[in-house]
Amino acid sequence: MKVHFLSDLKWIYQQEEDLKSVLLDVYKNRSQGKHFYITMAANVGNPEFKNENSYYDMPYPDEGYRLLSLYRYWNMINYFFPYRHLMDENWNTKLAEYIPVFLNAKNELEYELAALQLIAEIQDTHANIYGDMEQLDAWRGINYPPVHVRFIENKLVVTDYYNEEYANKDGLKIGDVISEIQGKPIDEIVAEKTKYYPASNVPTRLRNLSEDILRSNNKYLDITLISPDREPRTQSLTLYPKDSLDIFRWYKKREGSSYKILNGNIGYVNLQNIKESDVSKIKEELKDTKGIIVDIRNYPAIFVPFSLGSYFVSQSTPFVKFTQGNTDHPGEFTFTDILEIPNDGEAYEGKLVVLVNELTQSMAEYTTMALKAGENTTVLGSTTAGSDGNVSTILLPGGLRTMISGIGVYYPNGEETQRVGIVPDVEVKPTIEGIRQGRDEVLERAIQIILEE
């Protein structure tokens, strides 16, 4: 295996001679082999942090346990996060920076926000705080808007209704732009809350922030709307308890078949609801189409990089390699051998267009990499979430649970995917005007590419 990063021991040699000698002695006599607190997952190689007590019964840990939370997380990231080198700021400075933040957390909410802010520093979309966090939920707001919003052309845009009965109830229409909430410009709100929304890149952070930006503990919010047919206006938006709305997180649940043939003899496959039995049917029923569009602006229902990816290569084709950590040498990461997509005896002869955006995350990005290996593939859309690789769970005092991308995922030439995401060959983003017209501009461009001679 080729070493990607060695353990960084420079800090030991910067100590006074007596301390340096003791630290080097500890390192040379470190535990190797089987560990009580950590192992590497079989057949994958991401770290598994074992036997860590989450102290679930103390939601607001005392000073000592709050510092334990900080030290535990800092060390796990320092020695077993494969993307530490991609952070914008030096991780070595973060321990000292966050000691007063954790010590000065005066209650459960401040502690959770301190942890969330620290987690956001590693810039990994897989990293967040998960589970039943009542204080964080209350901070974000227990009441929800009746509309789904996204950032389109850097503006907060109404893109759908959660429930049809609320359509136009407060005068909101699909395509309306919300420029202010409670008199505060959207840009200011984003700037204030960014540090509490872990993400690998800006589009994905805005994706996550948009889920919460209209939440409140009040039953109404004053919002300023910009519509194409009216002057900008400020009005009241009614909010509702979560359980009274059919809320979807990023996209609506799909029903019915995962594939179909569009006008122009173009195959369309949506991985959101694909089944194992669909793969062979897709290969048979779409084989004579002019082209196939695979929509991965979602999270695939099943793992298809090899079963479906093999249909678009005429020979075994390299597409990915990984880095893995080392429990015997914490901080060291080595490359694995390159993985290939095998040809399964038949290869599709038409064009393949793969649709991606900021909703394309983790396994969806890995699947895109596999399909990108095809000889006649165009990836179309916008940059993906930039968080690929099997996840590793971390438990922190206070019953907190978070995760990291546990292995490094790279193209065969060593090019990064983390934070960068899968960069499309052809960039196409939705427009506000397209949203207002009910168009899928990304799909339209894909059809155009296939129909071009």
Q: What is the pLDDT of residues 188-210, one digit of tens each?
A: 999 999 999 999 999 999 999 99
CA-CA distance, 12 to 182, in Å (whole number)?
A: 52
> Alpha helix (H) ranges present in 141-238?
186-193, 202-212
Please enumerate in sequence order all residues whose Cβ is within 8 A of that of 186, keeping only pairs 6 or more positions apart, or say none.
155, 156, 178, 179, 180, 213
How confident is residue 283, by pLDDT bands cut at 50, 70 and 90?
A: very high
Helix %, strand %, coil % for the chain, to 5? 30, 25, 45
Inside any domain, residue 413? no
Is the pLDDT at 185 greater than 70, yes or no?
yes
Pairing of strands 220-226, 233-238: antiparallel
Tokens of 96: 């000292």
Query: Considering the domain boundaries, does residue 167 fall inside one?
Result: yes
Tell me which residue has tokens 């039953």. 219
308 has pLDDT over 90 = yes
Burial of residue 118, with CB atoms counted within 10 A of its CB: 0-12 exposed, 13-18 middle, 19 or more buried? buried
Mean pLDDT of 37-53: 94
Return the SS3 of 230: coil
Q: How far apart are CA 99 and CA 94, in angstroms?
A: 9
Say whether pLDDT at 10 is over 90.
Answer: no
CA 268 from centre of chain: 25
Whether 1 has a pLDDT exceeding 60, the answer reads no
Give the β-pairing of 377-381 and 351-356: parallel
What confidence score (pLDDT) does residue 255 get?
A: 87
Model pLDDT, residue 150: 97
* Residue 271 is assigned to a structural domain of this protein: no
Q: What is the CATH classification number for the domain harbouring 166?
A: 2.30.42.10
Strand partners, 160: 148
Share of the chain above pLDDT 70, in %: 100
pLDDT of residue 453: 65
Do the strands 333-335 and 317-324 form a parallel or antiparallel pair, or are they unpaired? antiparallel
- Residue 176 placed within a domain: yes
Residue 403 reports pLDDT greater than 80: yes
SS3 214: coil
Q: What is the pTM of this model?
A: 0.93
Structure confidence by residue, pLDDT tens digits, 220-277: 999 999 988 888 899 999 999 999 999 998 888 888 999 999 999 999 999 999 999 9
Is residue 222 one of the residues assigned to a domain? Answer: yes
Q: Round to whole Å and give the CA distance between 310 and 287.
A: 14
3 found inside a domain: no
Domain of 203?
139-244
Both structure tokens of 184? 């505060």
Q: Are 112 and 129 in contact (CB under 8 A)?
A: yes
**Torsion sign, CA atoms 207, 213, 217, 219:** negative
CA dist., res. 177 & res. 185, Å (int): 12
pLDDT of residue 115: 97
Asked whether residue 182 is assigned to any structural domain, the reply reads yes
> If you average pLDDT over residues 335-358, what whole number do you get?
93
- Residue 339 pairs in a beta bridge with 320
Strand ranges inside 277-423, DSSP E: 291-295, 317-324, 333-335, 339-341, 351-356, 377-381, 391-396, 400-405, 408-410
pLDDT digits (tens, 9 = 90+) for 155-182: 999 999 999 888 777 788 999 999 999 9
Banded pLDDT at 429 (limits 50, 70, 90): very high
The encoded tokens of residue 222 equal 């004053």
Helix, coil or strand: residue 205: helix
Question: For residue 90, is pLDDT > 90?
Answer: yes
How confident is the model at residue 6, as a pLDDT?
78
What secondary structure, in 3-state letters, does 87-116 show? CCCCHHHHHHHHHHHHHCCCCHHHHHHHHH
Top pLDDT among 305 and 172 is at 305
Torsion angle of alpha carbons 330, 333, 337, 341, nearest 10°? 110
Q: Quick check: helix, strand or coil at residue 426? A: strand
Asked if residue 154 belongs to a domain, the reply is yes
Identify the pLDDT of residue 229.
80
- Residue 76: the pLDDT is 97
R_g over Cα of the chain: 24
DSSP string, 361-381: -THHHHHHHHHHTSTTEEEEE
Amino acid at site 8: D
| Count of domains forming the chain | 1
Contact 452, 264 (CB under 8 A): no
Taking alpha carbons only, the member of 204, 210, 206 closest to residue 125 is: 204
